[in-house]
Structure 1
């Protein structure tokens, strides 16, 4: 579209109506025979709202205002009106202008079609612009009429109809194309919803939807490559979408195959903000952030914000994040995903080695009622050569999902991605299985940190001691389908397992369990506790090594009779307080960095027996056992990689009664 400026208008009072004459002129073409219309009749014809809605685009004295503000928020303009433009003005319709063959280059034409009102002028210098119904009208004789524009366009200008039947793809796309560099306002439909096919948004565009607007996809979006999505931001930048509670949706029942029919697809784009928009009932994801059909070398998504948005009843995910550098998801809801795996509220899952998950932050988000995990991070494809991962979930909550938070499948060796995933002040409530499920992540892959997280009344439907949930709130384990030599590199700090039900279902707060031949290594617990339900704090597999559990103050584990020392006692001080006589505690095979503390509270002998001869290293040499009967005596033992126990600290005499 060529640059165009309003022609000079001289007479402030002469207004005409333009109607094509049925009589041919000298060259045989029909032409308009203008009829003067008084200023009073024009005002009456426009109405105060129509005048306010269009005059702001003609006058240059108030460029700071938008159409949306003038039409919907400025009651003073509706009450007092605005000045009429100077010069000739003709009342017309779109069909009248398209039939006009000899327009007046010095006239202004006011289109009166409902929802499409506005001032147009003939641009004699333009012979190429296409008719888009909204901002450019082309007559049968090739004349181009240009709408007088401010910084805001209305989708209704382009002939959109929200009757639930009319397919508006061409009208909406024309509106989006014309709005590049400006703001497109989409008014609420008069019928049930707008119906449309796939739409593309241009760079430097702001879209503002009126509250209550519903835009629904046709039932025929392509489910085979190249896939179609409802709204696409493909390799664009500087896009803002203000939903004001509006909804993009699909007829989910029509999409029973494939998983790619998304409501909003953001691919290879940067500087995108989407606020207060609902994306529901899709055949795939509500929101998708990735690199679909992105030209090689164009770059990954960067600087994306989703704020106060929601995604409900989608088929695959509420939100899928495939690749992005800088993503903020704040105050968003992801609910009731069901249809095809993974069925998560949110899924972070790169499709390849070079797709980053960097500087990602979820803040105060909710995932509820999803058939899969609430928040899922799946790391099957990244490798050690992938960009360092940096993901944070903060103040996020899950309710009534299969799992609350799940991180899975980080490989090992050359396939071990690096970086850190942090969960801070997150809550998992009433998960069918575990609240926090860390599965199949190798101990040489990225660190997972759980800080002040709480699992509340989880394990609602799983069988007791299931092979994946272990009746525990926090689980670190492996999958048979993704074998690992060693799983670990996890820390849990100030985390709690809570079961307040009359019939508790959680048996263990924190479980470290192998699935076949894995080792468990490099896991750290600090001040992790349980509340209610008579839970064991830990369920730790005997293969575990380099596992530390520290609590301040240190809890006590009471032993009344001789027994084998369990890995589940880590983090507690083992006491003989209830014993009524001497007891022998048989130590397990020593593993690197495994620590136990023993306290003699009752005045009976506590004997610590190694599993093999010389398994206890003391200042007096290797011993097979050590013992003390002096009340107040304590000792802390640490396992070594050579399968020996060494004394870290001791109070009292543990060596007098000792044996080789």
Structure 2
């Protein structure tokens, strides 16, 4: 309605300082939204009206209803109220300026408040008119914010924030883009329409665009914060990968009980969201995108505790999706997604890698149902680092039901600085990686557990190196436990997997590793395929149980123990010239040839050897120690003996030969063809002590033992017709 006329109960009158309008006529004249607002003010009722985005907002009671009986409502422009020379009265004024609508009334007790446009207007006569507010929020547009993407709204928004904080109210942002710089938040902000607050000074200090500093109990909901980063280069290079202007989209420092939800943080130099030296921060259902530069992280958390991310998305960053650093503790990430980490500085001469989730110099970090996809380097990386708080003896990291997709490394757990950590991966899935899980355990008490994990390898060209789990570490007391895990190497070049010189494999030990490794109930997706286990470097203590294995090369070890394992028809090599400790097989089935070399004890207990063709079991030891036994207990040997001279070859090279024992063993000639020249066991060196007890040999092999060049029937062995 025009500002200079109104319709009274008796007809049209000329507006002026003496003009009044009835409540009924005011409601009719200012429209539905204004009517609902004023009605709730004057009649003491709650009203429900649209907020512009399809939702509804319930307005609280403005006043007591009857408290203003007898007053009149005066529609007026803000400028006119400010210019008014009227003395104080009990009249109710209704501001009609677009976006700033609302009721004001004079406050006789206040002679000092300054005019802030939004909630206090000081007239020319010195009257302080106060906006009547019954909601728990104030509107940033009441203070004159334009939100048009052009006007600098910095002063207005800061004024609105300060006022809202003083009134213990939230600050509401209607739809629009508010251009600002240098804001300090003191109260909670929210928007129903996804309003944007954008950096208006991209060439200024990148930390100072928008900050929460030293605050407690602030909640930010439904807003987009834009750091206005400069455009990407046409082609990335060493000279431009870190050459960006702009700011961090949102910076929270030295604050507590901060809650961010349904927000977007985008277009930043460095992190889109930085949380530093804070306690109790929750980030829910937020998106962080387009972080640039050498430290282009979607989220960076440093020196903070009790931080939680839930259902958040990080994408398009030039370093890391979610980072925890610098003595952070008690962090959790639930159903978070980190994708498309690209153009890492490492590609252009810098030192940074792309990773989806990275925790370093931190402890007590949990990732639950998180996804890392398409990062140049790795999906997940955890490391205690040198600067963790050490509030607990071990830096604990948990990955529960996480997924890594199309990263070079799926998961990295590294303690390269020998700082004690505990890592548990449960129900995790890695697909499309050349290196599924990489473990570096260097502290004596390190423990890494992988349970019910699944790894699918992928290479871009035949013969390319690929490893399901690659493990290193030089501490004999650290432990790696791999149980109930599934491996898929169906897309690999199997020649490299079967090679005794290639580092490709499902589980590979390298780099002078000395840890204890336990493998239990691990399989391949294709159950007919074995799990390829290799140790080309290092000397681990290895225990494997309930698994189907192929061992192209296991050079050295602190001890090797197989329990209820099945060995494929590949050739298996266990030990080498430097191997000095024992090898044990219990309740195993061996279907391929096997070379075993050690100066330690060798025990086969309840083992079935079912060989074919030229496959044999070759045992070589070089120690001159008669007390180091070679034992076969309750074993069964099966083979078509016509195809080769023997099943087992024993070659003791020491001056003093250790003793070989066969007890309760059965030797079976598969094809039932009599031979007088071939044998079951060949002891190569004369002088080797051997003993048979309760053993039985198929009578088709007329001389089941060969010592040096002599064939014989040993004492303690009975010849039987086993067909």
TM-score for the superposition, normalised by structure 1: 0.71
Q: CA deviation at 1:222?
A: 4.4
Report what 2:171 is aligned to.
184
Look up the SS of the partner of 1:104 in the other structure.
Answer: coil
Conserved? CA contact 1:548–1:571, under 8 Å = no
The residue aligned with 1:344 is: 355
2:374/2:406 contact within 8 Å kept:
yes
List gaps (5 residues or longer) in structure 1.
1-11, 20-31, 351-355, 466-470, 479-483, 636-644
> Is the CA contact 1:574–1:599 (under 8 Å) kept in the aligned structure 2?
yes
- 1:573-621 deviation line (CA, Å, top 9, x unaligned): 8755466xxxx73324669x99999532359996563532256x8xxx3
Work out which of the residue numbers 189, 192, 199 in structure 2 matches 1:207.
189
Whether contact under 8 Å (1:219, 1:250) holds in the other structure is: no
Q: Which residue of 2 aligns with 1:540?
A: 535
CA distance in 2, matches of 1:462, 1:267: 50
Residue number in structure 1 paired with 2:314:
311
Task: Describe the shift of the 1:220–1:47 C-alpha distance in structure 2 as closer, same or farther (beyond 3 A).
Answer: same
* Partner Cα distance (2:531, 2:219) in 1: 50
Mapped partners of 1:217, 1:570: distance in 2: 67
The aligned counterpart of 1:175 is 160
Residue 367 of structure 1: CA displacement?
2.4
Q: Does structure 2 conserve the Cα–Cα contact (< 8 Å) formed by 1:267 and 1:300?
A: no
Q: How does 1:216-227 map to 2 (within 5 A)?
A: 216-218=198-200, 220=202, 222-223=204-205
1:528 maps to 2:522: yes
- Partner Cα separation in structure 2 for residue 201 and residue 18 of structure 1: 45
Describe the superposition over 1:467-495 as per-residue Cα deviations: whole angstroms up to 9, x where unpaired: xxxx11222247xxxxx667953322222
1:364 maps to: 369
Structure 2 stretches lacking a partner, 5+ long:
1-7, 233-241, 281-301, 346-351, 498-503, 549-563, 639-647, 649-657, 667-689, 693-704, 708-723
What do residues 260-280 of structure 1 show as CA deviations (whole Å, max 9, x unaligned)? 943333333333333333323
Q: Contact 1:98 / 1:137 at 8 angstroms: preserved in 2? A: yes
**2:523/2:547 contact within 8 Å kept:** no
TM-superposed CA distance for 1:326, in Å, is 3.8
SS in 1 for 2:317: coil
Quick one: structure 1 residues 240 and 600, their matched pair in 2 at CA, closer, same or farther if it must change by over 3 Å? Answer: same
Separation (CA, whole Å) in 2 of partners of 1:496 and 1:525: 12
Contact 1:498 1:531 in 2 (8 A): yes
Would you say how many aligned residue pairs link Structure 1 and Structure 2?
571
C-alpha separation in 1, matches of 2:389 and 2:22: 77
Determine the C-alpha separation between the residues in 2 that align with 1:263 and 1:76.
31
Match of 2:595 in 1: 585
488, 498, 506: which is aligned to 2:488?
498
**1-structure distance, mates of 2:462, 2:157:** 48
1:102 shift after superposition = 4.2
Q: Does the 8 Å CA contact 2:449/2:482 hold for their aligned counterparts? A: yes
Does 2:387 match 1:403?
no
Q: Which residue of 1 aligns with 2:138?
A: 153
The structure richer in strand per residue is: 2
Using structure 2 for the length normalisation, give the TM-score.
Answer: 0.66
CA contact (8 A) 1:265 1:289 kept: yes
CA deviation vs aligned residue, 1:383-428 (integer Å, no higher than 9, x gap): 684545333232222222343222334522xxx1x45332222222
Query: Secondary structure at 2:26's aligned position in 1?
Result: helix
Q: 1:489 to 1:306 in 2, by over 3 A?
A: same
Match of 2:697 in 1: none
Measure the CA separation in 2 of the matches of 1:177 and 1:187: 18
CA contact (8 A) 1:110 1:118 kept: yes
Against the structure 1 CA distance between its residues 499 and 316, is the aligned structure 2 distance closer, same or farther, given a 3 Å change threshold?
Answer: same
Q: Per the alignment, in what secondary structure is the counterpart of residue 151 of structure 2?
A: coil
Change (3 A) 1:608 1:145: farther
Q: CA deviation at 1:300?
A: 5.9
The answer to whether the aligner puts 1:444 opposite 2:429 as a matched pair is no
CA contact (8 A) 1:280 1:311 kept: no
SS for the counterpart of 1:46 is helix
**Aligned mates of 2:573, 2:111 — CA distance in 1:** 96
Q: Which has the higher contact order (CA 8 A, sep 6+)?
A: 1
Cross-structure match for 1:269: 255
Instruction: Give the 3-state SS of the residue equivalent to 2:142 in structure 1.
Output: helix
Q: Structure 1 pair 652/428, CA: closer, same or farther in 2 (3 Å)?
A: same
Residue in 2 that maps onto 1:96: 80
